[in-house]
Amino acid sequence: MRDVRKALGDPERAAFAEGLEISKSTIAFYERGERTPDANVLRLYRDRHGVDMNWLISGEGEMFMPGSATDHAQYLANNDLNRPDFVRLPIYNEIQASAGPGATVPATEQADGVVAFARPFLRDLGATPDRCSIIWARGDSMQPTIPDGSILVVDCSQTDVVNGCIYVLNVDDDLLVKRVRRRLDATIEIVSDNSMYPPESLRAEQLRHLRVVGRVVYFCRTP
């Protein structure tokens, strides 16, 4: 169940629980394996996020059912497109967050166009739609979670670090997409999902070099 939330872009547990109409503490119990969800909870995962129940119970097959609303394109196909409930997200083709050692931030931040996203889809991911924008991921350090060449929907309103979520970070003018962990000694760990890349740590006195651009709420591989 933790893998499902991770696959949905790691929304905060409270927002994810609210979308399922389940308490945050109950979701935490399920994700830690301290309680076993009943059939009604499994159906919520299926109906709200398109999770395949066979996969959820046995681990066999694919996590999401074919044509599930987890994919934004399929979400649009399954919903009434005549409703004016879309937000036009700016897309920055020249801004690439490195899933590797680091990409230099370009001098210009002029949007190259816009992409329409359904507001309810973004809200379901725990995002603030009007504060989101789209950039690109380059490199393999976040694989298998985020493949090279993926687009990233970044919520720039979420700059407070929530343990274990994925963020776009500006570190000394290098733009990174990484998972972030906060330790009790105030150290920030910048973690790659690819185990070939060791985590990096920033001590409290080094945090002036770090700026959280926003949380990655959605990503998808491009053709």
pLDDT at residue 88 in the model:
86
What does the block give as tokens for 24?
Answer: 């945050």
User: What are the phi and psi torsion angles at 86 (to 5°)?
Assistant: -125, 155
Whether residue 167 has pLDDT greater than 90 = yes
The per-residue pLDDT of the chain, averaged, comes to 79
Each residue's pLDDT tens digit, 9-24:
667 788 778 777 888 8
**Which of the two residues, 10 and 206, has the higher pLDDT score?**
206
CB 109, CB 154: distance < 8 Å: no
DSSP β-bridge partners for residue 31: none
Of the chain, the end-to-end C-alpha distance in Å amounts to: 28
The radius of gyration of the chain's CA atoms, rounded to the nearest angstrom, is 18
Q: Bigger pLDDT: 186 or 142?
A: 142
The yes-or-no verdict on residue 151 having pLDDT over 70 is: yes
Q: Is the pLDDT confidence value at 200 over 50?
A: yes
Residues contacting 184, CB < 8 A, separation 6+: none
pLDDT tens for each residue of 46-88? 777 777 777 888 787 777 765 444 566 556 555 554 555 788 8
Confidence of residue 109 (pLDDT cuts 50, 70, 90): low
Can you tell me the distance from the alpha carbon of 175 to that of 95, in angstroms, rounded to the nearest whole number?
Answer: 9
Instruction: Measure the CA–CA gap between 220 and 223, rounded to whole angstroms.
Output: 10
Give yes or no for residue 100 having a pLDDT over 70: no
Question: Residue 20 is which amino acid?
Answer: L
Instruction: Of 155, 173, 162, give the one whose Cα is nearest residue 211.
Output: 173
Q: Angle, to 10 degrees, between the axis of helix 39-49 and the axis of helix 13-20?
A: 100
Higher pLDDT, 130 or 183: 130
- pLDDT score at 10: 66
Average pLDDT over residues 163-178: 86
Question: What is the pLDDT, as a whole number, of residue 4?
Answer: 82
Residue whose pair of structure tokens reads 């409703």 in the numeric block: 83
The distance from CA 102 to its chain's CA centroid, rounded to whole angstroms, is: 19
Contact 87, 123 (CB under 8 A): no
Residue 132 confidence (pLDDT): 92
pLDDT-derived band at 107 (thresholds 50, 70, 90) equals very low
